[in-house]
Amino acid sequence: MQVHPEAPVQEPRPVQRSEIALDGVERRFGRRSTVVALRGLDLRVEAGEVLAVVGPSGCGKSTLLELVAGLQQPDAGSVSVTGATAYMPQRDLLLPWRDALGNAALALECQGLGRRDARERAGALFARFGLAEFERARPSELSGGMRQRVAFLRTLLPGRPVLLLDEPFGALDSITRTSMQGWLAGALAAEPRTVLLVTHDVEEAVLLADRVAVLSPRPGRVVAELDVRLARPRRRRDALGDPAFVELVRRALDVLAVGA
């Protein structure tokens, strides 16, 4: 997008532009494709929206993300994504031979930026990610929460508009998870992106998302969508005392219990 100084900066935007659209998606695995991971899955994520997908384990949540990331192709149906996607896998997958700064800079290097420039741009954000003074630390010297923040930085740095997060806090202890959830909510409020968040934690989904889609057990499809009409960012401590929040979590759990 080009911005001319004399022209109005605000570009007219179509209302409710779908950034991610999945229509009747089917995905099969295994020998002779006998295992159906997803079937008849429809899902839409609007620009700037945070959509959380919850479902029982093995319902194809990760598959769904990889389809949107373009790492897999659907066997039927269509997947369309408007913006470029940044995919953050379940594990932090930091390279053990690179220091924290080098790991954060990896995505920029893959875009063709020189090593030094990439490190510089990543380094500028280290303090804001709570990583100051850990630039040269190897992944083995970092705590779980810090490793996850480095992975986040790596994911966010290329500035892609669509974020795909696969259980980003699944491997963390519950105290670290709570603080990282607060941190992500704040980061998204400061710099809005379109987010597709996959999680098995219903409370996390309701805490972070504008909308929660509940998947059925395999073959996965969307069985319910819940609108979370609460202002973001939400703090877990406040949310737990909010009857509306608690009611939403209960409804999501009810849908999951029926499907299972």
Partner 1 sequence: MRTFPRVALATLLLALVLAAWQGVASLDSVDDLTLASPAETATALSDDWSLLMDNAWVTLEEVLLGLAIAVVAGAVLAVAMHLWQPLRDAAYPLLIASQAIPIVVLAPIFVLAFDYGMGPKLAIVALICFFPITVNVLDGLRSTPAELLKLMRSLGASRLQTLRKVELPAALPSFFTGLRVAASVSVIGAVFGEWAGADEGLGRLVLLANNQLQTPRAYAGIVLLTLMAVALFALATIADRLLCPWNREEAKA
Cα(140)–Cα(153) distance, rounded to whole angstroms? 17
Closer Cβ to partner 1, 120 or 210, answer by number: 120
Residue in 170, 167, 161 with CA at minimum distance from that of residue 64? 167
Residue whose tokens read 């939400």: 234
> Which listed residue (24, 58, 158, 159) binds partner 1 by CB under 8 A?
158
Q: Which stretch binds partner 1 (CB under 8 A): 94-102, 182-190, 202-210, 225-233?
A: 94-102
Contacts of 141 by beta carbon, 8 Å cutoff, 6+ apart: 134
Closer Cβ to partner 1, 70 or 186, answer by number: 70
Q: Residue 143, interface with partner 1 (CB under 8 A)? A: no
DSSP 64-97: HHHHHHTSS--SEEEEEESSPEEEE-SS----TT
Min separation Cβ 66 and partner 1, Å: 8
Burial-class residue 205 by CB neighbours within 10 Å (0-12, 13-18, 19+).
Answer: buried
Q: Residue 122, interface with partner 1 (CB under 8 A)? A: no
Min separation Cβ 4 and partner 1, Å: 30
Min separation Cβ 107 and partner 1, Å: 5
Q: Residue 76, interface with partner 1 (CB under 8 A)? A: no
> Which listed residue (8, 97, 133, 191) binds partner 1 by CB under 8 A?
97
Min separation Cβ 93 and partner 1, Å: 5
> Which listed residue (20, 51, 107, 184) binds partner 1 by CB under 8 A?
107
Q: Which tokens in the block code for residue 199?
A: 């999680």
| Interacting residues with partner 1 between 191 and 220 (CB under 8 A) | none
Cα atoms found within 13 Å of the Cα of residue 248, Cβ hemisphere only: 26
E-only strand ranges, the chain: 18-29, 35-46, 50-54, 76-81, 85-88, 162-166, 194-199, 211-215, 222-227
Cα(117)–Cα(157) distance, rounded to whole angstroms? 12
Residue whose tokens read 């737990």: 240
> Which listed residue (106, 163, 213, 214) binds partner 1 by CB under 8 A?
106
> Which listed residue (5, 30, 96, 241) binds partner 1 by CB under 8 A?
96
Q: Residue 73, interface with partner 1 (CB under 8 A)? A: no
Q: Which residues would be at the binding site for partner 1 (CB under 8 A)? A: 66, 69-71, 85-87, 89, 91, 93, 95-97, 106-107, 109-111, 138, 140, 158
